[in-house]
Chains A and B, each alone.
Chain A
């Protein structure tokens, strides 16, 4: 076990590679965001983005400043609040495009599913550390899996299948990494796959996208996929230049959120888009290394792994959708896409990850 004395020992140096990757992504993201809002001429959109970013940076430093152990105190209340809010969303959420995903708090519409991500990761890390080898029992495994499943289900009911998928994938990977038995994992995976396909069948818009049935403009591809491809190809090697992208003239829907990578690819070309991917690879690799560093503490290592996987998976899905590798759905690009709570949460998680990078390693306690 990690003792208090051990973790109070001297701190290591901050992970410069990770920190600079995040900083670069954020600044890159601001440029792309500003460009993407040009056509709509919605000035408040950009100012709000700057505001959110400021809060995000504060969240990053909070994450970096606070000892990771301390988060365990608020973990459970936070999760309960999140679940309550998620249910509240289903009851009196704001409906946009046939989906109740937003809750109006004061003047802001917030996407509670983003909050669920951080709450679940913190909770899982906490529980997994507490239970430790008890996870090997099927009953315990089932309990923790159903917590993940329940959260994902609440989000799936909004409906927001992509967010539910991300939540489930991240949560379950943490359980898997924490040492669940392979046979238990397989049982859940198969059931999960069955449920997931059932969900997709239940929502026709999702089914159509996966089956590629909704076709506009008589093209063989989906409209968004086609437009994203055109935008990316139009970027060529060095891109059209910052602010000079053309896809944002209403060719790509939700360009500030779901297709920001295509915009970057168009404005900054292969170099820019390659750079973005490279930065996310750096985040992934560094995150995994941090998780490996803390292998002696289940809490820290699962937390690091969960955060890393969340960031990497979202980025992978977003980029995969933009390049047409994955069927299209709305996934935001961490640190880049516009989304108040998403930026806040991702920055906070990045802060926690950075904190983990320089927190002292737990030592063997024989």
Chain B
């Protein structure tokens, strides 16, 4: 036999077949993964794993006042996060940037904000850290840039403008109501995610398209920033002086329902007294019965009415006047705000007529603008008792909000038309209906003029201009004790000027002022605020500030 007889070719082939068969198996797997159906599922999974989007936040639209003065601004801000422990040296460095780092810390914490020009410094600190700790994590700080929203004048405007939360959604006021319009749409910058847990490295990719942010649209409000300031200052002074619970001022232009100012104070917790709290209006509500009676020609200004010793008993309720006046004219009854006269008038008009007039003047229904406010419908008039009807006449038993009130008085000022409150400058004014007849407009102006000249609202008199107005004082219903608390009052004054061609309508409401009880009336508390605002407006018009 040959010396090499123990070499067998089949053995060689057998050895060769082992890797070749693994290659074949691998090829089969490759086919299923890269071409077959399973691959599609895996590719979708891979997509989620490998890519992430860096959000490109859209800038919020700027809110302007009627003269294009910005009320809000967007500020670029950078949040800084710390990802681990740091040494003394770095601690000091970070303190110098105004951050509040933690020395021994293992997880992730927000340590403050820096302005955008310091982003590079943050990266430099990271580089230094990486050099000092080789082999460890390559960074210790990360930053997140975003647009912060600020009000230009925070104090006076915030109750109307509201504010924007950290998640960039409007939370109150205009920012909330017009959020979708102002916000815009965020874009995104696709990038490759690293599998490292704390990686600040970002890898941009051309595989995905960058989506540019759509910036929010700016809006122009009918508000006048200057008047806002005037109103806010006057209101604040009074509320602080009397340590009242709060108050608000609305200023409108009666001819088209434009809101020139809407401020409330205090602005703690961003409560907006204008919208959030409906209240019983008191005497200012008397225009409902007076306008109805005047239009129906039931009364004339100089007809007389017996106020019966200032006391009227209706069912189980007694309606009182502040001073007993005896037999007086309707003009006097209105200007001295006789409750007995108004209650008698309500009873005379009847449930249906009063109900109709309430709705006609826009009370109890939404104002038709996005500034809705809380509205409480008056309920079914057929179930009203006599006493309810009488109290409605003097402004109790129905909750209203300030916007409803200014729009109703706006109708008196502009010749009888009820408008919807207008807050966006480039929208057309919405005329809802003709609410008052010519007769009532004519005489109500006379009545309101008389209030300021000789009646309860003397303190609203502004030298040099004619003012129409009406005072209002209402007790607050205590829900727990179930009675009207004579110590807690809602005092108000609503008025417009000049009388012939009204340009400004100002409504001042102050909730629960504290002080001498016989001085806590609309004419004593709210009318001076009105006067102050009116004077300031006229003065600045004179100097062409507005």
Contacts and interface: CB of A to CB of B under 8 A. Distances in A.
Contacts of B25: 320, 323, 325
A233 B6 contact: no
Interface in A202-241: 229-237, 240
A274 B27 contact: yes
A246 B16 contact: no
B22 A316 contact: yes
A292 B22 contact: no
A312 B42 contact: no
B18 A233 contact: no
A316 B195 contact: no
A230 B6 contact: no
Interface residues of B, number: 42
A90 interface: no
At the interface, is chain B mostly helix, strand, loop or mixed?
Answer: helix
A136 B5 CA distance: 11
Given A236-B43, A237-B35, A249-B50, A320 B6 contact: no
B22 A273 contact: no
B542 interface: no
Interface of A: 1, 39, 132-133, 135-136, 173, 176-179, 229-237, 240, 244, 246, 249-251, 265, 269-270, 273-274, 277, 280-281, 284-285, 287-288, 291-292, 295-296, 298, 301, 305, 308-309, 312-313, 315-317, 319-320, 322-326
8 contacts: A133-B6, A176-B11, A179-B6, A229-B42, A236-B35, A246-B46, A313-B19, A324-B29
Binding site secondary structure of chain A: helix
Contact of A230 (B4, B22, B27, B42): B42
A234 B20 contact: no
Contacts of B209: none
A332 B45 CA distance: 27
A323 B15 contact: no
Contacts of B12: 177, 288, 291-292, 301, 305
A35 to B, nearest CB: 13
Given A233-B34, A234-B46, A246-B46, A301 B29 contact: no
A-B pairs, top 4 by smallest CB distance, nearest first, are A179-B6, A233-B42, A312-B19, A316-B22
A233 B203 contact: no
B26 interface: yes
Contacts of B194: 39, 249-250
Contacts of B207: 240, 244
Contacts, number: 149
A236 to B, nearest CB: 6
Given A173-B15, A177-B12, A323 B30 contact: yes
A233 B15 contact: no
| Residue of B12, B13, B43 with most chain A CB atoms under a 10 A cut-off | B12
B3 interface: yes
B4 A229 contact: no
A298 B45 contact: no
A233 B16 contact: no
Contact of A277 (B5, B23, B193): B23
Given A230-B49, A232-B30, A233-B38, A316 B23 contact: yes
A270 B9 CA distance: 34
Residue from A135, A234, A296 with most neighbouring chain B CB atoms (10 Å): A234
B357 to A, nearest CB: 70
A149 B13 CA distance: 23
A220 to B, nearest CB: 13
B315 interface: no
Nearest to B195: A250
Interface in B1-60: 3-9, 11-13, 15-16, 18-20, 22-23, 25-27, 29-31, 33-35, 38-39, 42-43, 45-46, 49-50
Contacts of B38: 233
Given A308-B16, A319-B23, A325-B25, A233 B33 contact: yes
A213 to B, nearest CB: 22
A39 to B, nearest CB: 7
B46 A296 contact: no
Contacts of A277: 23, 26-27, 30
Given A177-B12, A249-B203, A288-B16, A233 B39 contact: yes
A313 B20 CA distance: 9
A178 B3 CA distance: 12
Given A177-B7, A250-B194, A284 B50 contact: no
Contact of A179 (B7, B27, B195): B7
B233 interface: no
B15 A176 contact: yes
Contacts of A309: 15-16, 19
Contacts of A284: 16, 19-20, 23
Nearest to B31: A270
Nearest to A317: B22
A214 B321 CA distance: 88
> Among A309, A323, A324, which residue has the most Cβ atoms of chain B within 10 A?
A323
B1 to A, nearest CB: 9
Given A179-B6, A249-B203, A288-B13, A236 B34 contact: yes
Interface string B235-246: 000000000000
Nearest to A271: B34
A325 B35 contact: no
B475 to A, nearest CB: 66
